[in-house]
């Protein structure tokens, strides 16, 4: 069957911590396709560690878009630890709302770019969640990706480099539900 290149035809499925072993390889495969031209970067090569780290969180939430039985994109995250809402240091004054969802990673196979798949996944990940805010990091050297998140309602509130070998990231925040 020919692959479908219209996001509306994709099947978006939700997964949790309990599903990690079932979806782990699909996440790694999609990531390898999405970052194919940047896999010489050691940070990108550590992706399986990040999958296990985030997937090991009991609150892990993941959405995967399937075209037939092929995973073509994913988005995942987990509720932020209430005592470690590090983004707050970037806000003055800090908002009263205090439950935050950390949107950790998203990737879409190159063939499915500009189909609406990424928007579908970004929205599906946070839809119906109990948190009031969602936070994510975008490489400051990827302004087009930052613009994409801005188009979905996120705004830059600061910058952060979580690991010495990681990029410098723009910290982006939005209120939930997305409008």
Ligand X SMILES: CC(C)(COP(=O)(O)OP(=O)(O)OC[C@H]1O[C@@H](n2cnc3c(N)ncnc32)[C@H](O)[C@@H]1OP(=O)(O)O)[C@@H](O)C(=O)NCCC(=O)NCCS
Instruction: Give the footprint of ligand X on this chain (CB under 6 A).
Output: 34-35, 106-108, 113-114, 118, 138, 142, 144-145, 148
Q: How far apart are CB 138 and ligand X at their closest, in Å? A: 5
CB of 48 to ligand X, least distance (A): 16
Nearest-angstrom CA–CA distance, 1 and 43? 36
Evaluate whether 6 touches 115 at the Cβ level (below 8 Å): yes
Closest CB to ligand X among 57 and 115? 115
In terms of CB distance, is 107 or 135 closer to ligand X? Answer: 107
* Residue 114 to residue 101: CA distance in whole angstroms: 25
Shortest Å, Cβ 37 to ligand X: 9
Q: Return the residue matching tokens 């290149």.
A: 5
At residue 97's C-alpha, the angle toward residues 55 and 128, to 5°, is 50
Instruction: Report in angstroms how near the CB of residue 121 gets to ligand X at its nearest.
Output: 8
Name the strand (E) or helix (H) holding 150.
helix 143-151
15 vs 103, beta carbon nearer ligand X: 103
CB crowding 26-36: b at 16 or more within 10 Å, else e = bbeebbebbbe
Q: Which residue, 93 or 163, is less far from ligand X as judged by CB? A: 163
């Amino acid at each position: 069957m020919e692959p479908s290149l219209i996001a509306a035809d994709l099947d978006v499925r939700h997964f949790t911590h309990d599903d990690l072993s079932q979806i782990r390889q699909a996440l790694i495969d999609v990531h390898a396709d999405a970052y194919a031209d940047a896999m010489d970067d050691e940070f990108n090569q550590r992706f399986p560690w990040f999958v296990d780290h985030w997937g090991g969180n009991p609150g892990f939430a993941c959405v995967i878009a399937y075209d037939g039985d092929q995973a073509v994109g994913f988005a995942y995250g987990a509720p932020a630890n209430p005592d470690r809402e590090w983004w707050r240091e970037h806000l003055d004054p800090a908002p009263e709302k205090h439950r935050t969802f950390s949107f950790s990673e998203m990737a879409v196979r190159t063939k499915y770019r500009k189909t609406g798949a990424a928007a579908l996944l970004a929205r599906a990940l946070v839809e119906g969640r109990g948190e009031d805010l969602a936070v994510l990091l975008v490489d400051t050297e990827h302004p087009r990706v930052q613009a994409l998140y801005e188009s979905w309602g996120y705004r830059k509130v600061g910058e952060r480099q979580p690991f010495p070998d990681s990029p410098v990231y723009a910290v982006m925040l939005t209120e939930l539900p997305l409008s």
